[in-house]
Structure formats: C-alpha cells, structure tokens
Structure 1
Amino acid sequence: MKRRSIGVILVALVLVSGCSGDGSGGLPDAQLMIRNAGYATKSISSAHLAVTADGSVPGLSLQRLDADISRESSPAASAGSAVTDLGTIDFIESDGVLFVKGPSGKYAPAPAGVALPSPAAMLDPERGISQLFSTLEAPTTFAKTELDGVAAFELRGNVPQTTLAAILPDAASGAEFTVWLRVRAPHVPLRTILTFPAGGALEFVVSDVNKPVSIAPPT
C-alpha cells in the first residue's frame, strides 16, 4: 500500500529559464516559485505522505506517520500507520472518521485518547500543506543545491501560527519554513521542513503524486 519514492506535488507552469531573478545571484524569484508550488498542491488527487517529527513539536505526540491518501471521495480518505507515544497504530481515515486496528486485527473508531493528525486534511486544498505556501511570509530563494540526486532550489520563509493551526490544532506559534523545489519544471517540492522556536522540527515528504490508490473503508 505504501509507496516511498521521493517526489511531490505539482502542476507548475513556469520553466526555470523563464523565472525572473530575485537579486540573489541569479536565483529565481521566491514569490513566483512558491506561488506555483502552492497552486500545484491543490491538483493532487492521491499521494503518499510521510511525516517525521524531530524533537518536541507543539501539540504533537508523533514520531512518524506514513499514509496513502485519496481525494477521489468526499471527504478524502487515508490509510497507513503512525509511531506515537502509545506505540505503532495502524489506521484508516474514512468518511471523516479515524478507525484504528485493534488486537483482533479489526478496525474500530479510535477510542478517546488516541489522536492523530489527519493525513487527508494535510492535503486538503483549502487548509492543508498548500496553505503553508499561500501564507508564507518573507520567502527567499536561498541556494541552488542537490537533494537525493535531484537539482533543487532551497527556499526559506516563515509560516504564521494561524496557518499551522489548520493542520496542527495545538500549534502555539509559527515556524520557520524550508522547502526544496525541483529546478526542472514542474517545480516539485521534494522536501518541506517546519522548525519551531523551541527547536523541534516536522518534515513532510509527499510522493507518488496522482498514482492510483484504493482505500477500502473498514468493515
């Protein structure tokens, strides 16, 4: 069910050769790159999402989450596993309800005390990762580099607390935002990291964009 080849999100319209410089040694304009990346996330119909926490992330008792997500239905569905303070949890998100696998191997609505961030919400076009791009403050194209063998532009900025609250309801502050966008169009976000004032960080990797995903509701 899980697909792990790194990639991510996008339907961008602007070639690198057509990007205007931002004064940073010929690097492309950050606002233009971010805008295209944000638009692209809204076109995703399915994807694999990997979320990794490093250190203490406000309001999140999660070390790792992997999920396949499909937006073919409404609301969107997801299925995967998460490593939390309670151990490893296998889950299915269907019809807006979180189901977790019990000792018998059957899925049941998550009991009180079991809370996971919604993978489907993270790819929601109005309140998910795309909003991190649309509300980014002071974006800057920092460097041209290479990530896992792929040429990428590294961009940095800040995400306000009000935006983070849509995907992390207990977020008490904003966060520094770093994203690596593929140099070759479409400018796919290869990796995204949120760094919080207390030092914790949250990494998002979205892969297998728009590849067929079938998520059956629990029975």
Structure 2
Amino acid sequence: MRRSIGGLLAVLATFVCIVGCAGDGSGGLPDAQLMIRNAGYATKSISSAHLVVTADGSVPGLSIQRLDADISRESSPAASAGSAVTNLGTIDFIESDGVLFVKGPSGKYTPAPAGVALPSPAAMLDPERGISQLFSTLEAPTTLAKTELDGVAAFELRGNVPQTTLAAILPDAASGAEFTVWLRVRAPHVPLRTILTFPAGGALEFVVSDVNKPVSIAPPT
C-alpha cells in the first residue's frame, strides 16, 4: 500500500509540474521554445483580424508611419481594407485579389499608381510568409515575464529574427531585428503585440486584435 501511495504521489507531482510549466495557470514562466512554436501555429490559423502597424524612427524598407487595417483570409488571395499614414498624407486603401486600390479625390478606388507603395497587411498574416514565419526562425527566444495588455494576461518573450526571414514582410530589410512579443497566456497563444527593434534604432510595432471575428471586405467597384 505504501508503495502504491508513493507511486501515486510521484504521478501527481509530475502532473502538477506539467500543468505549472505549461504556463496557462499560476505556475512559473513557460518554456520559450514551446510558446513560440504554439504561437506560430496559432498565428497561421487566424482567419481574420484587425492589425495596427506603427513605425518609430527609421525602419528600413518601410514608407509608412502607421497602418490600420482589417484583414480577411476567407478569400484567396486574402483581402484587407484600411488606411495608412505616409509622407504623402493619409491613404485609404483596399487590397483585393492581389491588387492594391487607393481612394482618390473623387472617393473612387482605383489601382495604386507606381509612386504609391504600401506594405501588404494580408501578407503580414499569410501563413507561409507573414508574422507566423518570424516565429519559426526566431533565434535564442527567452520568456521574460507574465504581464497584462489591455486586461488580457500575456507572456512577454524576446529573441532575434534573421534578415532572411524579415525580408519576407520587409523586402528592403538590410539586417535582422530584435523581436519582442506578448503572447496570450490562454490558448490559442496568438500574438497580442509584437515589436521589431532594428540595429539603427528604428522600431516597428504590430498590434493584432479582433482575432477571427467576422470581417466583410467588398472589392472596389
């Protein structure tokens, strides 16, 4: 009987360790590699979201200060609609069927002229070349802390993204970047906030919200 009780206690201790180390409860900080892998899977499964991208300082290969867009992957290719603050002013846009349309003075959307270059919000959530791929190649990830973002419990992690991966969303990126991400504690571990910090001092922030909520993006007529 004593051996049975001892064996049962050992099993329970192992179970408690597994639950605590997973990071969803009140245990210690979770393994960074495990969280990053789960975040990659969760990001690939996003079918729609609201994305805000903000640049602080000079970011290589980026011509905007802020981008605010709804994204839907219900269609193929994915679609997006929103606005971007650039050196030319604020540009309203719709991304549909792989074509970027911008709103002109008449209020009508037409294909963007050659001088207008905006990053593709749809590409940023693309499962093969978007933010999810940053997780798959993240170097030396570390879990830093458990915190809150807008009332949502999150784990803060940090690592480094190589230039070759970063070029998928920033084609003119000449270097890698430090990658700091806040992942939702409860599964699915989607990224709530991501910051890329570049060697020259510029930073790029991604904030994802309204994950998988219905989004309707009509193509321009």
Q: What TM-score comes out, normalization by structure 1 length?
A: 0.88
Distance 1:65 1:21, change over 3 A: closer
Alignment check: 8 A CA contact 2:147 2:154 kept: yes
Distance 1:45 1:6, change over 3 A: farther
Alignment check: 8 A CA contact 2:23 2:30 kept: yes
Percent identity, aligned pairs only, is 94
Considering Cα pairs closer than 8 Å and 6+ residues apart, tell me whether 1 or 2 has the greater RCO. Answer: 1
Ranges of 4+ aligned residues in structure 1 off by more than 6 Å: 3-16, 21-25
Structure 1, residues 39-85: CA drift from partner, whole Å, max 9, x if none? 01111111111101011100112111011111111111111000011
Moved more, 184-193 or 171-180: 184-193
Alignment check: 8 A CA contact 2:20 2:28 kept: no
Instruction: Tell me the SS of whatever aligns to 1:53.
Output: strand
1:129: Cα distance to partner?
0.4
Q: For structure 1, which runs of at least 5 residues remain unmatched after alignment?
A: none
Give the root-mean-square deviation of aligned CA atoms.
9.5
Alignment check: 8 A CA contact 2:21 2:27 kept: no
Q: Distance in 1 between matches of 2:95 and 2:125?
A: 13
Alignment check: 8 A CA contact 1:156 1:177 kept: yes
1:172: Cα distance to partner?
0.5
Distance 1:31 1:75, change over 3 A: same
Alignment check: 8 A CA contact 2:19 2:25 kept: no
Distance 1:44 1:21, change over 3 A: closer
Q: Distance in 1 between matches of 2:6 and 2:124?
A: 16
Distance 1:9 1:183, change over 3 A: farther
Distance 1:153 1:7, change over 3 A: farther
Q: Distance in 2 between matches of 1:6 and 1:215?
A: 61
Q: Distance in 2 between matches of 1:173 and 1:145?
A: 30
User: Would you say 1:173 and 2:175 are equivalent positions?
Assistant: yes
Alignment check: 8 A CA contact 1:13 1:186 kept: no
Greater helix proportion = 2
